[in-house]
Structure 1
């Protein structure tokens, strides 16, 4: 095997690995996009709750997947990521479920 063939083989492996590496992050972003749509439609509680759900989804995916498969969800250590995502989800859900009234109404 020549050096060029080794490089091609390595680049082929990277290309195959990288194809689905960001799929978990894409799933979380898809939920956030739906949440943004709901917020722009003046259903801000539903949208905010969906953002909290997206953070919980990120925590679950980070807990289940290895660091190589988590893609951009792997920011720090696994435990720190899970605790951070879960704490942020709890805070966002608390705000979404407890605020009453306000300038956006009670929808």
Structure 2
């Protein structure tokens, strides 16, 4: 006798597990925003940019049933937009000369 899948046995838990990639990205962005608030703006923006690049990698590598709300558009569009925005934000934050 085989056990039914998790989404049948515990649908709430399955929904929470499915959103873990988005939660990880949001935690990283929150840490970056906290750094910006504490006046470590360059480090904070780099953390936010790398979080977006990480989101692009998660969107690229995870199957659709595991990626949760990181899947907004088609996979190529999501990866290009998230990765591009993250890379641009990181490069600009590192390119601004320090005072």
Which TM-score applies when normalising by structure 1? 0.79
Distance 2:40 2:13 in 1: 40
Distance 2:12 2:36 in 1: 37
Offset at residue 16 of structure 1 (A): 4.1
Q: 1:60 aligns with which of 54, 57, 60?
A: 57
Offset at residue 19 of structure 1 (A): 2.7
Distance 1:15 1:40 in 2: 34
1:23 paired residue number: 20
Distance 1:33 1:45 in 2: 15
Distance 1:35 1:13 in 2: 34
1:69 paired residue number: 66
Offset at residue 15 of structure 1 (A): 3.0
Q: Would you say the 8 A contact 2:50–2:87 is kept in 1?
A: no
Which TM-score applies when normalising by structure 2? 0.85
Which structure has the larger Rg? 1
Q: Would you say the 8 A contact 2:46–2:90 is kept in 1?
A: yes
CA distances 1:8-57 after superposition (whole Å, capped 9, x unpaired): xx763533421301000000011011101110110000000000010011
The count of corresponding residues between Structure 1 and Structure 2 is 93
Distance 2:60 2:72 in 1: 13
Q: What are structure 2's unaligned runs of at least 5 residues?
A: 1-6
Q: 2:87 aligns with which of 85, 90, 106?
A: 90
